[in-house]
Amino acid sequence: MRTLTRCLVALSLVAAYACATAAQQSPSGNMSVPKVLQITREYLKPGKSGMTHDKSERAFVDAMARAKWPTHYIAMTSLSGKSRALYLTQYESFDAWQKDNDAVTKNTALSATLDRASVADGELLDSLDQGVFYFHEEMSLRPRADLSQMRYMEVSLYQVRPGKERQWAEVVKLAKAGYEKGVPDAHWGMFEEVYGGNGGTYLLLSSHKTLAEIDKGFGDDKQFEATMGEDGMKKFADLYAECCELSQHQLFAFSSAQSYVPDEWIKASPDFWKRKPVPAAAAKAPAEDKKPKP
């Protein structure tokens, strides 16, 4: 029951105002969830987080804005676990990712500035790693794409045992059916790590306007249990125990200082997303063009 409870809590958290990740603007003007999500994770040295890291990253953001670079990214800083920052960059496809990289390479001024800025930022880091994730629409429930009004993100990681992908798909299918019927406002998106890991890693990313929404999420599991019924819950618990090797759940806060977001987001929520003047102490930081963090 302890394992089952942990799973239910994680899924109920995802239900409240969930979203897959940064929005991708489609040609028609509608918002859609991106297919390819690249996440860079920076672990910071002790005492190098907060404003110190904001100042270093701000050089990149200002450079991107001056260059009017079309690819945007969202930055998040940890509220749980080790001190770290995540940078989420999304693409419509792997082909779009390649074209973006090729454009940076051809821009010699941009490439040179990237090198200088990365060296300066690297002085603050203990380590850095990257992962590439692919969106699974069939495992997602009404994912929301627009994060302009969101301020917090939960990152739930599930490690599926080798050879148990079918059982995992059934677990998610049962969860979707239960929440779709029992919790009408449930939304979530599912991503699978396709590069950078050992395989079998899935992420559920859920956004929130306030942390009060998490309080509500912890209560949604009761509705889920009632909808599933005793037999459904037993099947759900057995399948989860069979296929899921471990789970981790972390909480992050969006960082407006370290994010490079579309102008539409700034107009929609200027008090949060509008870029503030750089403090005088940070004036010497590199401040030219930077490619979005992969």
Residue 9 pLDDT exceeds 90? no
- Of residues 187 and 271, more confidently modeled: 271
CATH code: domain of residue 56: 3.30.70.100
User: Is residue 11 domain-resident?
Assistant: yes
User: Is residue 161 domain-resident?
Assistant: yes
For residue 87, give the nearest of 128, 30, 134 by alpha carbon. 128
* Residue 125 CB partners (closer than 8 Å, separation 6+): 42, 43, 44, 45, 48
Rounded to the nearest 10 degrees, the angle between the axes of helix 94-106 and helix 108-122 is 100
The gap from C-alpha 220 to its chain's centroid, in whole angstroms, comes to: 22
Number of domains forming the structure of the chain? 1
User: Is residue 290 domain-resident?
Assistant: no
- Looking at this protein, which amino acid is placed at residue 92? E
Q: Is residue 35 classed as helix, strand or coil in its secondary structure? A: coil
Share of the chain above pLDDT 90, in %: 59
Mean pLDDT of 260-266: 95
**pLDDT value at residue 189:** 85
User: Is residue 293 domain-resident?
Assistant: no
pLDDT interval class at 283 (50, 70, 90): very low
- By residue range, what is the domain housing residue 243? 2-282
Q: How many CB atoms lie within 10 A of CB 248?
A: 12
- Model pLDDT for residues 69-95, shown as the tens digit of each residue: 899 999 999 999 999 999 999 999 999
Q: Is residue 32 classed as helix, strand or coil in its secondary structure? A: strand
Mean pLDDT of 107-134: 90
- Of residues 141 and 240, more confidently modeled: 240
Sign of the Cα torsion 104, 110, 111, 114 reads: negative
CA distance 205 to 8: 15
Q: Where are the beta strands (DSSP E) in 175-275?
A: 190-195, 201-208, 244-254
User: Is residue 287 domain-resident?
Assistant: no
pLDDT interval class at 183 (50, 70, 90): confident
- The pair phi, psi for residue 143, each rounded to 5°, is -65, 140
Give, in order, the Cα–Cα distances in Å from 34 to each of 61, 72, 105, 294.
21, 12, 23, 14
CA distance 60 to 79: 23
Strands 73-78 and 84-91: antiparallel
- Of residues 167 and 143, more confidently modeled: 167
- 110 neighbors 71 (Cβ within 8 angstroms): no
* Residue whose structure tokens are 């972390």: 250
Q: What predicted TM-score, i.e. pTM, was given to this entire model?
A: 0.83
Mean pLDDT of 153-169: 95
CA distance 236 to 247: 16
Give, in order, the Cα–Cα distances in Å from 242 to each of 33, 44, 159, 235.
30, 36, 12, 11
Q: How many CB atoms lie within 10 A of CB 144?
A: 19
